[in-house]
Amino acid sequence: SQQGEEDPQALSIQEGENATMNCSYKTSINNLQWYRQNSGRGLVHLILIRSNEREKHSGRLRVTLDTSKKSSSLLITASRAADTASYFCATDAEETSGSRLTFGEGTQLTVNP
Amino acid sequence: NAGVMQNPRHLVRRRGQEARLRCSPMKGHSHVYWYRQLPEEGLKFMVYLQKENIIDESGMPKERFSAEFPKEGPSILRIQQVVRGDSAAYFCASSRKQGAGGQPQHFGDGTRLSIL
């Protein structure tokens, strides 16, 4: 499997519920980033978590990082219909530090009103 | 608009023609990255540039593709003699100088290239 693999591929929830998306990766990283992409648009940066951090919050977003398991999770609390989008994790590997991000295939989140 | 600007948003070319995609990074950003996205897939890295220098082009096909980021003006991704398989969305991102722990990359809205 590729670096930065998201799980699940698709998630459908009701407004107000929480959404959890997971990401696994393979190599040692400097940081891991989460992005959102609305249909037909570019990626919007949500949050960056560095390899020496375990948890980070930004508004309704909570990201965790477990470097021993090479995994991360993105939690969106109290979801809204406007949160409907594809969510990607991307890793900045130590080996290629700063030169590229490696993206997973994404989780398509649908929040039903 | 202080974000990453890409143009055109949509580009249609016939097989064998050339495609030129432009990217103006965010103000204050000296690092530019190009990625390609096929439908229903994640982004794949192509090339990383700083002003007047290609730093890493390991993700870019060796033939027909080239990129530049001149001292003045936008970064250009150039595809010569396009083929149907080049149809994709091409995204540009920019960042500040990469420091310890890394910097986020900020993306444009992409150029959707269609080859007839």
Digit-coded pLDDT (tens) for B83-116:
999 999 999 999 987 665 678 899 999 999 999 9
Say yes or no for a CB contact (<8 Å) between B105 and A30.
no
Contacts of B106 in chain A (CB under 8 A): 45
Tell me the per-residue pLDDT of B15-61, one tens digit each, with 9 for 90 and over.
Answer: 999 999 999 999 989 899 999 998 878 899 999 999 889 999 999 99
Say yes or no for a CB contact (<8 Å) between A103 and B43.
yes
Write down the pLDDT at residue A110.
Answer: 96
Side-chain half-sphere CA neighbours of B71 within 13 A: 0
Write down the pLDDT at residue A3.
Answer: 52
Q: Tell me chain A's radius of gyration from C-alpha atoms.
A: 13
Whether B5 and B93 have beta carbons less than 8 Å apart is answered as no
Contacts of A48 in chain B (CB under 8 A): 102-104
Let me know how long chain A is: 113
Write down the pLDDT at residue A4.
Answer: 61
Q: Is A61 on the interface with B (CB under 8 A)?
A: no
Write down the pLDDT at residue A1.
Answer: 32
Calculate how close chain B gets to A10, using CA atoms only, in Å: 11
The pLDDT of residue B1 is above 80: no
Cα(B43)–Cα(B13) distance, rounded to whole angstroms? 22
Contacts of B62 (CB under 8 A, 6+ apart): none
Mean pLDDT of A8-27: 94
SS3 A39: coil
Tell me the per-residue pLDDT of A31-56, one tens digit each, with 9 for 90 and over.
Answer: 999 999 998 888 999 999 999 999 99
Q: What is the token pair recorded at A55? A: 């948890």
Cα(A62)–Cα(A104) distance, rounded to whole angstroms? 19
Q: What is the token pair recorded at A16? A: 């107000």
Say yes or no for a CB contact (<8 Å) between B43 and A51.
no
Side-chain half-sphere CA neighbours of A48 within 13 A: 16
**Neighbouring-strand partners of residue B103:** none
Interface test with B, best of A101, A103, A107 (most B CBs within 10 A): A101
* Chain centroid, CA A15 distance in Å: 19
Say yes or no for a CB contact (<8 Å) between B33 and A100.
yes
Contacts of A30 in chain B (CB under 8 A): 101-102
What is each CA distance from B104 to A16, A28, A32, A75, B70, in whole angstroms? 29, 18, 9, 19, 23
Among the partner-chain residues A30, A88, A96, the one whose CB lies closest to the CB of B101 is: A30
Q: What's the burial of B39, exposed, middle or buried (CB within 10 Å: 0-12/13-18/19+)?
A: exposed
Contacts of A98 in chain B (CB under 8 A): 31, 95, 98, 102-103
Mean pLDDT of B72-80: 96
Write down the pLDDT at residue A6.
Answer: 79
Helices (H) and strands (E) in chain B, counts: 0, 11
Write down the pLDDT at residue A2.
Answer: 37
Calculate how close chain A gets to B101, using CA atoms only, in Å: 6
Tell me the per-residue pLDDT of A54-98, one tens digit each, with 9 for 90 and over.
Answer: 999 999 999 999 999 999 999 999 999 999 999 999 999 888 777
Mean pLDDT of A104-113: 93
Contacts of A68 (CB under 8 A, 6+ apart): none
Tell me the pLDDT of chain B averaged across its residues. Answer: 92
